[in-house]
Amino acid sequence: MANTSDIKNGVCLNHNGKLVQIIEFQHVKPGKGPAFVRTKMRLIETGKVLDFTFSAGHKIEIVRIENREYQYLYNDGENFVFMNGETFEQVNIPPAMIEKPEFLLEGMVCMILFHAEEEVPLVLELPMHIISEVTYTEPGIKGDTATNTMKPATIATGAEVRVPLFIDNGEIIKVDTRTGMYVERVK
């Protein structure tokens, strides 16, 4: 069992029965009273950020986690199936564990956070950007490049994104998976 002196950024803890990751911490020794550790923690399953203060010497349970690369294979109707490129082990990930499943492309490499002792997947992180073809959008008009006006477009994954007016069907674009926003046209 560890104590508060072992707290560092990125460490995962079992806190009140939930897995949390330390984002920030600060050891505080006030002039009067006992020392304490002020932390900001992210709940791993929901992503919610919490503030919590531990008294100095408080016992904590550190949990070992690992980030592993997995390749997206297909959707079996209920879950998304991913494969480890080295061991060819397959893992089923429920849609609730993926923040934006509409951006998954077959063959895409994603990072999956695993609870190392229990071999249980915790969180799936998509790559920051994807490159995809625009399958449908209203036709653009020549010269529509001066304004920042956007129009809806459907990409190959089936997701709908907002693109500038000059983007046409069949063009390849780069999309930010965190925000779902158009980044640039790829040549």
pLDDT digits (tens, 9 = 90+) for 57-96: 899 999 998 989 999 999 998 999 999 999 999 999 998 8
pTM, full prediction = 0.76
**DSSP one-letter code for 31:** S
Q: Write down the mean pLDDT value for the chain.
A: 89
Collapsing DSSP states into helix, strand and coil, what is residue 137?
strand
Pairwise CA distance, residues 127 & 13, whole Å? 25
The pLDDT value recorded for residue 93 is 92
Confidence of residue 1 (pLDDT cuts 50, 70, 90): confident
Question: Beta-strand (E) ranges in 4-142?
Answer: 12-15, 18-28, 36-43, 49-55, 59-60, 62-63, 65-75, 80-84, 90-93, 109-115, 120-125, 129-137
| pLDDT given for residue 144 in this prediction | 61
Q: What are the tens digits of pLDDT across the range 105-123?
A: 999 999 998 888 888 888 8
Provide the percentage of residues in the chain whose pLDDT is more than 70.
96
CA 182 to chain centre: 18
pLDDT band at 142 (very low <50, low <70, confident <90, very high): low
Residues 6+ apart with CB under 8 A from 35: 27, 28, 29, 55, 56
Averaged over 135-154, what is the pLDDT? Answer: 80
SS3 97: helix
Q: 149 pLDDT band (50/70/90 cuts)?
A: confident
Q: Please, what are the domains in the chain?
A: 2-63 (2.30.30.30), 65-125 (2.40.50.140), 129-186 (2.40.50.140)
